[in-house]
């Protein structure tokens, strides 16, 4: 076996995003709208033994998975290295986020021209 990488490989991130897409409400809505049939030739989806037909949902605009991973900041934000992470209990984690929200709210108030009572 090879050496285990310290960070999650892009291929794993791409696979997770693809799985999210395959289970998405948008994909299901497109299948339902098109009555589970091909919009080009009209063949219907079937699970009948010996006559299986799968229907895929195609993006009209091609997807560049690597660019998408970069654009939504998965590597630099969500999947940052261990040096950018810390372990907290549930209580401290909630406190950390409430502190972030109060700082974020104060920043929005200042930008909008409101003054704080500190």
Determine if the pTM surpasses 0.85.
Answer: no
Tokens 């009572």 correspond to what residue?
A: 117
Q: Are residues 101 and 70 in the same domain?
A: no
- Is position 2 within any domain? no
Q: Are residues 57 and 92 in the same domain?
A: no
pLDDT recorded at residue 10: 83
Q: Are residues 91 and 62 in the same domain?
A: no
**Alpha-carbon span 80 to 109, nearest angstrom:** 30
**Structural domain range at position 102:** 87-118
pLDDT digits (tens, 9 = 90+) for 36-94: 999 999 999 999 999 999 999 998 888 887 788 777 777 677 777 777 777 889 898 88
pLDDT recorded at residue 47: 92
pLDDT recorded at residue 39: 93
Whole-number Cα distances in Å, 94 to 60, 77, 79, 87: 41, 19, 20, 12
Residue 103 pLDDT level (bands cut at 50, 70, 90)? low
């Amino acid at each position: 076996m090879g050496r285990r990488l310290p960070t999650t490989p892009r291929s794993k991130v791409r696979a997770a995003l693809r799985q999210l897409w395959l289970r998405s409400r948008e994909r299901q809505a497109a299948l339902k709208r098109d009555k589970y049939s091909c919009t080009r030739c009209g063949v219907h989806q079937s699970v009948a033994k010996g006559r299986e037909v799968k229907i895929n949902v195609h993006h009209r605009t091609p997807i560049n998975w690597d660019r998408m991973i970069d654009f939504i900041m998965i590597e630099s934000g969500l999947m940052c290295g261990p040096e950018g992470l810390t372990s907290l209990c549930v209580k401290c984690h909630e406190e950390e986020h409430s502190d972030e929200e109060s700082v974020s709210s104060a920043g929005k108030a200042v930008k909008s021209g409101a003054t704080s009572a500190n």
